[in-house]
Structure 1
Amino acid sequence: MDRSSKSSSFRPVVSVYLGNKSIPLNRMNNYVRLIKLVEANKEANTILNFFTAEDVDFTERRINGTYFNYSSKTWQKKEFGLPDVVYVRGGGEEIEKLLAAFDSWGVKRLNPIPAFNKGELFELLSQDHNVSRFLPPTVSVESMNDIRSAIQRLGTVYVKARRGRKGTQVMRIERLAKKGYLYSYSVLGKLVRRKVASMNGVEKAIVNFFSDKKVIVQRAINLVRVNKNRLVDFRAEVQRNKKGDIDIVGICVRIGRQNAPITTHATAYRYDTYLKKLFPHYSNQQIRALINKIKAFLITVYFGVEKKYGQFGEMGIDFAVDRKGDIWLIECNAQSAKVSIVKAYGSKANRVFLNPLQYAKVIANLDRGTDRQHNNRSQSKSNRSQSNNNRSQSNNNRSQSNNNRSLFNYYKRHFVRDRTRSEHEMSHTNHNAYFGGW
């Protein structure tokens, strides 16, 4: 397939990376979110396929991809040339090698990185004065002495693997008022809570749980709670749409299980209908003001991350609101599982699957003027093509930045720079035109 086609019916090849190991065709229907992507593609109209590291022929630069045949309603396999855009929805040890090869061949990424290093992310964002005010005290540690010192200084903390997904590498540690410590974590949905008499017991638990993984230590936020011992946080799904504009598709309130240290496997609700239950003493005007603060916070974080890493097609942003109504960033996710938004929004969440495919068409169209083909490309042509892609992406970023700058400065002036501004004053600004449908 020639990617330089000038036809108005241009259909980019979008290949979705699922991990290391091939998936049998008879198991594809087991993955609900893949089905939702297939359904969304009826409107997006890309040439959509799915693949794993085992499906890539690096020599021939081809993919033995899996696709859904809409006519026969079956999953089938066939060879595809190099995609226009790769959409990473999996990990594994081959991911860096794979993406490096795709980069050298001029294949574009929906997101610039497959996963965040939490320590690196917080260090970079701490240097951005627009974002740093939303960061809880966080320390990247190198030794057990560093961890001990951070716990003693910060009090109740979360220890997190710098790389980890779905809350599988998070431990909460609380220094008890009388004596000793309480630590807790979840493994495969099972809650573990234990008391130890001294820091030595905490250190043993950390070693057993994290092994040799690099970790960060983060001060615990005084979260709002339900029924006193169920923690509450938020997951926002923020993406770029078919115009390349930022779209906050949905924001979910996640309520953890009783005594659980995190909200993974939580119950999820739409935040706009649930905030009043979390802040029953707030007036309707104050609730509207808080909603506006949350939206402005999400835009600020999205732009802040993009300044450090490049433009993202999508990002899951986890954040907390403390009992004073202040907003705190917990972490960003380059590969959101989209579980909470489907729970909370049902069919109204379908846009979260459509946006990435439509945005892939935006970035695929950036280099349609070049005469490149999927096959028989020399390495020198690939390098020149990659350079052209980078310049096109840079021009697109500058254009997008110019489009958003005045609006972003407006939000920063009214919502970010002065967090003590009265909620009454903030509640009178209308943002619906920018933030899309809710």
Structure 2
Amino acid sequence: MDHAANRYLGVLTSPGKEAPAGDSEPFFRRLSLHGAAAGIEVIVFSPDGISFEYETVDGFLYNPAESAWREGTFPLPAVLYDRCFCSSAAEQRLYRRQLNRLHGLPGIRFLGGGLRGKWDVQRLLAADPALAPHLPLTRRLTAMRRLERWLELYGAAFLKPEGGMHGKGALHVYRSPGSDYPWSVRGRDRANRPVRHDFGTVQEMLGWVRGFIGNRRYLLQQYLPLTTTDGTAYDIRSLMQKDGRGLWKLTGMVVRTGGPGSVTSNLHGGGTARAAEAFLKEQFPARASGRLMKTLSVLSHRIALILESSHGRLAELGIDFGVCRDGRIHILEVNSKPGRAAFQSIDGGETARSAASNPVRYAAYLLRTQREPAGATSLGG
């Protein structure tokens, strides 16, 4: 294949050979339109649509004249954008197998790689003196006895799966002295449905948590009261992306508020989105809100640098922050396949448009250059 003449950006999506649909379709459509403006054809395909023998993919190309996706067979794209989310162990095995083969092909480059698990990311960030003060106390949940001791010390804990997303499986466990049911659990199950249970004894609560977690790996984390003055849970999503020069840029920040009774603020759990700067001005004095915005920006850039230095080239990061009532900022989570639905409802969609155009700009940069895939920094890569 003549990779030099290949102007395709391939979007690797969830297994299945159906045309793009659902929550991700608008984003793929915007990618395609931005690609067309840059002279790049965007092909959406899944792991089971790859032919390594012929170096082709069966996928979909958006046709703006018909406002529809056209199915076809296309050359294996020279640059790949991994937006694949697997819903089963079988899909995960297929995805990993195909991904490994794609990484081994000469002339094929990914916009960026993925992050290791949440625990590994936590340890990498904790090793940086500038970031460590902003990390909540976190341990691996290796046994229920560890959770019991934690609750004896702190009275509350936040539990989250090491490989979870969208707030699924997250739990707030806490003690309510003086009640007939002094132990409570609030959160969301694996299907993102609300969870609410109260227990008469600590052993009853621990038994339920053990059954809920099963064999999954979980993190035990300091519970932070990240709420507004009226008690609404919220966090701040910062979107860092590479631009058309291969440099890290802060695309935007948005506040996500939780649904009624929610322990997380993810939109998939019923939350809403607000512009970050205006929201913080409502919650903090003007000078304090300005300092918060500046610090959030500095931390976002620092996190991107630290993680890229240990993971190799990255293309974008969704960074979730929490802000306590006293103004302390906490780094909650980092995602290398960030959702961007929250940005669609702020600033007239301007940030959402940038979030869709930046991957195309970065793909154009990679097509113009010949850089090694590992060890890249914000100086370009």
RMSD: 2.3
Q: Is the 8 A contact 1:22 1:53 kept in 2?
A: no
Is 2:17 the partner of 1:15? no
Letter of the 2:163 counterpart: R
Structure 1 residue 95 displacement after superposition: 2.2
Give the superposition deviation at 1:243: 1.3
Contact residue 40 and residue 350 of structure 1 kept, 8 A: no
The offset of 1:68, in angstroms, is 1.1
- Residue 64 of structure 1 is matched in structure 2 by 58
Query: Any conservation in 2 of the 1:29–1:35 contact (CA below 8 Å)?
Result: no
2:176 aligns with 176
Going from structure 1 to structure 2, the CA distance change for 1:270 and 1:56 (only over 3 Å counts) comes to same
1:9-29 per-residue CA deviation (whole Å, 9 max, x = no partner) reads xx632111111222147x479
Shift of 1:123: 1.8
What is the alpha-carbon distance in structure 1 between the residues aligned to residue 25 and residue 223 of structure 2? Answer: 34
Measure how far apart 1:333 and its partner are.
Answer: 1.0
1:189–1:343 distance in 2 versus 1, CA, 3 Å: farther
Larger RCO, structure (CA 8 Å, separation 6 or more): 1
Unaligned runs of 5+ in 1: 6-10, 368-387, 402-438
Aligned pairs for 1:35-434 (under 5 A) are 35-92=29-86, 93=92, 94-106=94-106, 107-113=108-114, 116-178=116-178, 180-187=182-189, 188=191, 190-228=193-231, 230-265=232-267, 266-279=271-284, 282=285, 284-348=286-350, 349-367=352-370, 389-390=372-373, 394=375, 397=377, 399-400=379-380
Distance in 2, Cα, partners of 1:345 & 1:149: 46
Give the TM-score taking structure 2 as reference length: 0.89
Alignment partners' CA distance in 2, 1:197 and 1:346: 50
> Given the superposition, is the C-alpha separation of residues 44 and 197 from structure 1 closer, same or farther in structure 2, using an over 3 Å criterion?
farther
Larger Rg: 1
| TM-superposition CA deviations, 1:43-95 (whole Å, max 9, x none) | 33312100112211233332112111234443112222222221111222122
Per-residue deviation, 1:253:
1.1
Task: Report percent identity of matched pairs.
Answer: 19
- Greater percentage in helix: 1
Matches of 1:239 and 1:342 in 2, distance apart?
17
Alpha-carbon distance change, 213 to 42 in structure 1, aligned in 2, over 3 angstroms: same
The letter of the residue matching 2:80 is V
AA aligned to 2:336 is A
Contact 1:116 1:163 in 2 (8 A): no
Tell me the CA shift for residue 4 of structure 1.
2.5
The equivalent residue for 1:406 is none
Following superposition, which runs of at least 4 residues in structure 1 exceed 6 angstroms of deviation? none
Q: Secondary structure at the match of 1:295?
A: helix
1:155–1:175 CA contact under 8 A, matched in 2: yes
Shift of 1:169: 1.9
**What TM-score results when the alignment is normalised by the length of structure 1?**
0.78
Give, in whole Å, the separation in 2 of the partners of 1:89 and 1:2: 25
SS of the residue 1:288 aligns to: helix
2:178 and 2:295 map into 1 onto residues whose CA distance is 38
Unaligned runs of 5+ in 2: 87-91
Q: Please report how far the alpha carbon of residue 397 of structure 1 lies from its aligned counterpart in structure 2 after TM superposition.
A: 3.5
Displacement of 1:226 after TM fit?
4.5
Q: Which amino acid aligns with 1:21?
A: G
What is the one-letter code of the residue matched to 1:121? Answer: V
* 3-state secondary structure, aligned to 1:129: coil
Which residue is 1:377 aligned to? Answer: none
Corresponding letter in the other structure for 1:133? P
How far apart, CA to CA, are the structure 2 residues paired with 1:48 and 1:213? 36
* 2:377 counterpart SS class: helix
- Alignment-mate amino acid for residue 301 of structure 1: I
